[in-house]
Amino acid sequence: MTSPAYSQLGKSPYHGGKKLLIASAAVGALGLLITGIAAFRDPRQAGFSYLVAFAYWSGLAVAGLVLLQIFHASHARWPTVLRRPLEAMAIALVPLAILFLPIAVGARLLFPWMNPPADLPGDILERLRFSGWYLNPHFFFGRAGLYFAVWVLVAVRLHRWSIRQDTDPDTALTSRQQRLAAAALPAVGLTFTFAAYDWLMSPSLGFHSEILGLYWFGGSIAGVLSLLVLTGVLMSGPHSLGRHVQVDHYHSLGNLMLAFTAFWAWMAYSQGMLRWIANLPDEVPYLVARAKPGWIGLTAFLVVGQFALPFFALLSKELKRTPRLLAAVGVWILAVHYLDLYWVLMPNLRPESPAPCLTDLTALAGVGGVALAAAIAAMRGRHSMPVGDPYLEESLRYRP
């Protein structure tokens, strides 16, 4: 039986965003082309720029998948109206799996354990020999393949069942999505964590952090929630979800943004200050490098920009109930999250100072343009909301 909301929303799928799709694909192709050309001149610089951009966009895509799974697994009804954008973000993992290839090609320039310098301290060389069973190219690339296989399989299956339910509103499809989302959460969470160790931690020899995956996840999921707010504000045309997202939806999204801003801050504090106090020889060099004169400015900015400013802004109930103001905070969170990943990875290339480069921008635009185009393509030609879902009617009338 068709959901009551189906007749209210009409039977026309969403066909907006065509210009944005074309522009995103063009910007993505141009950005990747310029980055590729720049790699012939300075392959290490282009490689690290690309790695930062890839970590940024893939982190957002996987965090979108995790949030989608959490909503399904918890049987949450209020975010049903927002589910299609989350599904589209997760589908972006399909082209991102292909965009991992440049990292594989330039892996020896990005991950020093693949070709360790001869002048490394003896204790680090000994540790690399001990961890050789894990840190070796074959296992590294095999793990990356496993990560994307898990993520893409779960994302595609949830998306297909959701799309199918638009024309076949069978509650059994809802149950299937809920069961798969719950069962796959441990696998997606673990692969996300190991991806953080491989892509964010292993470029820095001698650095160890048991919570780096949670650190990356905290910033990424705050960014995903920001993207949901932006999507609701920008998608205001006919047959789009923007006109059906209520102020109370934005309020709840703002509360989650506040929660994960605080979560990221706690992970940063645990990884930073507590380890500094412990004075562990394996971990202090990582912090010392980011406390040097060239990097201390960005370090201080992240404390203020990624925690203090959004945290105190999101304490305001009035702001969270004003979509455009909440969207402005979301743009800020997304921008600072990129700087955070830049701060994590770039000192491995330029320990003296940040010194932004053109490839930082072209790589960000290249990977992001392709990912955004894939997400828009996943939404076009389909309903912008899961019109056959039995929870949609309740979501449209949501009041916390």
Contact 257, 67 (CB under 8 A): no
φ, ψ at 125 (rounded to 5°): -60, -40
* Mean confidence (pLDDT) of the chain: 91
- Chain centre to alpha carbon of residue 62: 6
In whole angstroms, give the CA distance from residue 174 to residue 18: 30
- pLDDT surpasses 60 at 6: no
Residues 6+ apart with CB under 8 A from 11: none
Contact 213, 201 (CB under 8 A): no
Type of residue at 42 = D
* Res. 7 pLDDT band, cuts 50 70 90: very low
Type of residue at 109 = L
Type of residue at 315 = L
CB atoms under 10 Å from CB of 278, counted, come to 9
pLDDT at 282: 66
Contact 32, 46 (CB under 8 A): no
Contact 251, 320 (CB under 8 A): yes
Q: What is the pTM of this model?
A: 0.94
- pLDDT surpasses 80 at 11: no
Higher per-residue confidence, 279 vs 288: 288
Higher per-residue confidence, 87 vs 170: 87
Contact 351, 285 (CB under 8 A): no
pLDDT at 115: 84
Maximum CA extent, the chain: 70
pLDDT at 238: 61
Type of residue at 325 = L
Nearest residue to 84 (alpha-carbon basis) of 337, 387, 322, 391: 387
In whole angstroms, give the CA distance from residue 253 to residue 113: 41
Average pLDDT over residues 190-212: 91
Pick from 73-82, 153-162, 193-202, 207-216: least confident:
207-216
Please write the tens of the pLDDT for every residue from 157-198: 999 999 999 999 889 999 999 999 999 999 999 999 999 999
What number of residues does the chain have?
400
CB atoms under 10 Å from CB of 235, counted, come to 21
In whole angstroms, give the CA distance from residue 292 to residue 294: 6
Contacts by 275-282 with C-beta closer than 8 Å and gap 24+?
Answer: 275/209, 282/206, 282/207, 282/208
Please write the tens of the pLDDT for every residue from 235-253: 876 667 778 899 999 999 9
Residues 6+ apart with CB under 8 A from 284: 275, 276
Q: Residue ranges per domain, the chain?
A: 10-118+127-392
pLDDT at 3: 47
- pLDDT surpasses 70 at 48: yes
In whole angstroms, give the CA distance from residue 65 to residue 127: 35
pLDDT at 116: 81
For the chain, percent of residues with pLDDT exceeding 90: 75
Q: Name the DSSP class of 11.
A: S
* Res. 281 pLDDT band, cuts 50 70 90: low
